Structure 1
Amino acid sequence: MSSRHQLLAFVSLLETTKPYLVNCVRVPALQSLLLFSRSLDTNGDCSRLVADGWLELQLADSESAVGLLAASLRLRARWEQVLARQLARQARRRPEEEEEDEDEEEAAVHRREEAALSRELLRFAASQVPYSLRRLMGLEIQNLYVGPQTITAAPSLPGLFGSSTLSPHPTKGGYAVTDFLTYNCLTSDTDLYSDCLRTFWTCPHCGLHAPLTPLERVAHENSCPQAPQDGAPGAEEAAPEPPQKASALQRPYHCEACQQDFLFTPTEVLRHRRQHV
C-alpha cells in the first residue's frame, strides 16, 4: 500500500488525424477518484471502494476511508453550488453588459466562499492515506455487487454522510447516498461480525466515552454539537483579501468625485465613473 498512487488527467482533447491529450498532469489517484468519479461503490466499512465500476481501492484504515469519503461529499456539493451560481450568473448577463448583476457585498461573500473552497480542496488533495489501487478483471466485475436485499431498513448512523439520506439501491443492493455514491453494495469476504466489533473511544470534542464501531465514531464526530463547524461566522471576514495581480493595462487613476487614487484599466475607469452618475 502507498499514498503516492497517481492518475493522468488532461485539460482538453485535440483531434486532428489522431486524437491528442493536451496539458496532461499527474494527480493523486484516491482524491481525484473521490471528487470526479461518476459512480462510487463501497463495502460496509468503506475500506474498499470501486470507482466507475472498474477501479478498486483498498484502504487500510476504515476511519480514514469514511472521513475522506464524507469530506469528498461535502466538497463535491459545495463545488457544484459554486459552479451552478457562476453558470446562472453568466446566463443572466447579456453580451454587451460588463457590470456584475450582484452588488459588491454579495460578490465579496462569493469570493470568500470560493477562496475557502480552494483551500479545502488543496488540503483534501494533500491528505496522506495508504491504499492500494488496481483494475478489476471481467469475472470480478460480474460478481461485484450484492444485489437487491430483502431487508431494506437503512442503518441508523446520522451524520455519517452529512445530511444525505440513505435509500435502498434497486439493482446494486446497499444504500444510495447520492446520485453517484452507493454505500455497502460490494460483495466482501470479511468476517460477518467484523462490523459489530466495538472498542472504547473518547470524542475529542464533547468527551463522550463509549464503545463504538469505526462507522459510529465518524458518524458521532460529524454530528457532534461541540465540533467546530466549517465556515464559522467571522472566520473568513477576519482574513484579509489577497491583493489583486496587476495587469499590464492598468494605469494610475485619480477620481475627482471621491478623491481617491486607483490602479485601473480603461474599462474599470468607465465602470467606476458610472458609480458616481
Structure 2
Amino acid sequence: MKKFNKLNLYIKILIILIKKYSRIIFIPFGIISFIATLGTTTPTILGIKNLHLWIAAFSLPLAILIILIIIKKPFSEIKKIKEGEILNIDEIKNLHLTPKIIIIGLSNVGKTTLINSFFHERFAKSRTQNIEGRIKIHKNQALCLIDMSGEQIYHAYQVLKLANFIVLMVDHSESHSSKKIVLSRQSDVRDFIEKIKDNVDGNYDDKKSIPSLFIVNKKDLWSESAEKSKEALQSNYKNIYKEWKNYFGDKSEYIEYTNKNDYDEKISSAVILDKICEGVK
C-alpha cells in the first residue's frame, strides 16, 4: 500500500471547520477580550490586567473547536484514503475533500479497464453493475475514481452532480474483444452525450467550471481500417469533441487512447492520471 502524506489534508479539514463555525468559535473570544480590556481597576498579574479573562478568551475558542471535532468527526474521511479502497455510493457522497472523478461512457467502452490500469491490473475481472468508487493515490494526491454501468444512464445521473472532474470515454466497437469498427456507435455516443448535457444543465450553475477529458478509446482498431476510414473516424470524433468543449469550456482535453501495450505512440494511464490531478488542483 502506498504511503500518503495526510498532514496537509488534516490542516485543510481544520481550516474548513474553523471557517464554517467561525462565529461560534470567535464571538466568545471577542466578548471576553473586550471585557478584559475594560478592567482598569483590576490588579495586574504578571504584568497583565485581567489575566484570568485573557486565559478564558483564548481557552474557550480552543475548547469549542475540540467539542466540534468530537461532535462533527471531520477527520473520519481520512480513514478512507487508502490506495485501492472501494467505496459505495453513500460513502462517495460523504467525501468532501477527496476529488471525485467520474468515468462515464457507453457499455463496453473500457471504463473499468481504464480504472484497473491505474492500479496495474490488466483486465476487468467482471463488468461493473452498480456505482463503485475506488481510491487512487497519485503523486501524493488522493482521488476517488467512480465507475458505473454504461447500460444504466441513471447511474451517471446520480454521480454527475458530485463530480469534480469528468472523464468521458467514447469508442467505435460494441465489445471490448471485437476488432470490428461499428460506425453507428458514433450516433450512440452523440445520443449519450446529449443525455449527459441535459442532466448537467439541471445540476450545475456553471458547467464550464468542470474540467474533463474526452478519451477516444480503442485507437488500435484504426490500424485495421483503410487510411480514409481512419481519417473519417478521427474527423468525426474531433467534431463531437468540439461540441463537448463548446459546452463544457476550455478545461476539456481530447485524447486518443488504447490499452494495448504493443501499440506505437500509446498514451500511458499515468499520463491520464497526471492530467486528472492537474485538473482538480
Scaled to the shorter chain, the TM-score interval is under 0.3
TM-score w.r.t. the length of structure 2 is 0.21
Q: Which has the higher contact order (CA 8 A, sep 6+)?
A: 1
Structure ID, larger Rg: 2
The answer to which structure has the higher strand fraction is 1
